[in-house]
């Protein structure tokens, strides 16, 4: 409701804070959508991968962070390398290619499943970083280039807003999906107290904490100490 009221007001103002006419340009709207969806996927993926590395593979936080460093470096390098490439190849080719590469990284996570080791996570995250780094660099340039000179500031602000909104929704939406999938699939052993059952059934982190409190056999009957269902 608040969004609708805001939109109506912006359309009536002579000097709106958000110029909705910018969204009539296909290149602008498409670039904003690429920014938004890329960040949703990236932040949501980080939420999942960080838990997988620490709670399933049992890595310490520092070690888990180091696994992701190659992917972050690949994202930065891809953003730098794609600049001269985008001058020779149309954005309509570069951006979809980058999204396909990042999708391949997500597909690797899906296919690898629970058997994915730290090395596999690092490789998949490199592919994800290359794709998103390339696509977002070009889309950010398109956002500004698609707007008239007097609207470039507003266009840049829209792109930044899409980025921040995507970061919030990535954690909220994909995090909720991950938590829901866990709650529907987790199998809890008999003999747990009410508080232990509630904690273990809520999140994977809670299950790991409860498993650490149990003797070896109960802890291992339905999940091991790293939080992986057996």
**What digits encode the pLDDT tens for the residues 166-215?**
888 888 888 888 888 778 877 777 777 778 778 777 777 777 777 777 76
Does the pLDDT at position 3 exceed 70? no
180 within a domain of the structure (yes/no)? no
Tens-digit pLDDT profile for residues 124-162: 999 999 999 998 888 888 888 887 787 788 788 888 888
Residue 89 above 70 pLDDT? yes
Closest CA to 133 of 93, 168, 99, 170: 99
Query: 70 in a domain, yes or no?
Result: yes
- Specify the 3-state DSSP secondary structure of 127: helix
CATH of the domain at 145: 1.20.1250.20
pLDDT at 90 over 80: yes
Tell me the C-alpha distance between 161 and 152, whole Å.
Answer: 14
- Cβ atoms 109, 79 nearer than 8 A: no
**Pair 167, 207 in one domain:** no
Q: Tell me how many degrees the CA angle 119-209-188 measures, rounded to the nearest 5.
A: 95
- Residue 139 within a domain: yes
Mean pLDDT of the region 88-101: 88
Report which DSSP code applies to 172.
Answer: I
The answer to whether residue 16 sits within a structural domain is no
The rounded distance, in Å, linking the Cα atoms of 225 and 207 is 9
Q: Is the pLDDT of residue 113 over 80?
A: no
Q: Are 98 and 83 in contact (CB under 8 A)?
A: no
What confidence category does residue 45 fall into, taking pLDDT thresholds of 50, 70 and 90?
confident
Q: For residues 7-34, give the mean pLDDT.
A: 76
50 in the same domain as 158: yes
Note whether 147 and 194 are same-domain residues: no
- What pLDDT score was predicted for residue 28? 84
**Dihedral sign for Cα atoms in the order 39, 45, 49, 52:** positive
Residue 81 has pLDDT above 90, yes or no: yes
Domain that includes residue 230, residue range: 186-230
Check pLDDT > 60 for residue 19.
yes
Q: What is the pTM of this model?
A: 0.77
Whether residue 207 sits in one domain with residue 127: no
Tell me which of 215 and 79 has the higher pLDDT. Answer: 79
Instruction: Give the pLDDT of residue 78.
Output: 93
Q: What is the CA radius of gyration of the chain?
A: 22
């Amino acid at each position: 409701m608040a969004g609708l009221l805001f939109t109506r007001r912006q359309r009536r103002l002579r000097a709106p804070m958000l110029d909705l006419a910018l969204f009539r340009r296909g290149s602008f709207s498409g670039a904003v959508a690429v920014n938004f969806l890329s960040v949703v996927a990236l932040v949501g993926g980080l939420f999942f991968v960080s838990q997988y590395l620490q709670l399933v593979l049992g890595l310490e936080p520092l070690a888990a962070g180091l696994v992701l460093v190659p992917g972050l470096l690949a994202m930065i390098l891809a953003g730098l390398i794609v600049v001269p490439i985008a001058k020779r190849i149309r954005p309509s080719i570069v951006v979809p290619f980058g999204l396909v590469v990042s999708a391949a990284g997500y597909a690797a996570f899906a296919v690898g499943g629970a058997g994915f080791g730290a090395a596999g996570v690092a490789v998949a995250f490199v592919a994800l970083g290359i794709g998103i780094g390339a696509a977002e660099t070009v889309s950010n340039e398109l956002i500004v280039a698609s707007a008239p000179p007097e609207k470039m500031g507003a266009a840049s602000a829209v792109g930044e807003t899409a980025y921040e909104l995507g970061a919030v929704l990535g954690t909220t939406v994909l995090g909720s999906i991950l938590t829901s999938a866990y709650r529907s699939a987790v199998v809890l052993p008999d003999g747990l107290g009410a508080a232990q059952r509630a904690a273990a059934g809520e999140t994977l982190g809670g299950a790991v904490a409860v498993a650490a409190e149990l003797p070896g056999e109960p802890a291992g009957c339905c999940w091991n100490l790293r939080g992986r269902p057996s």
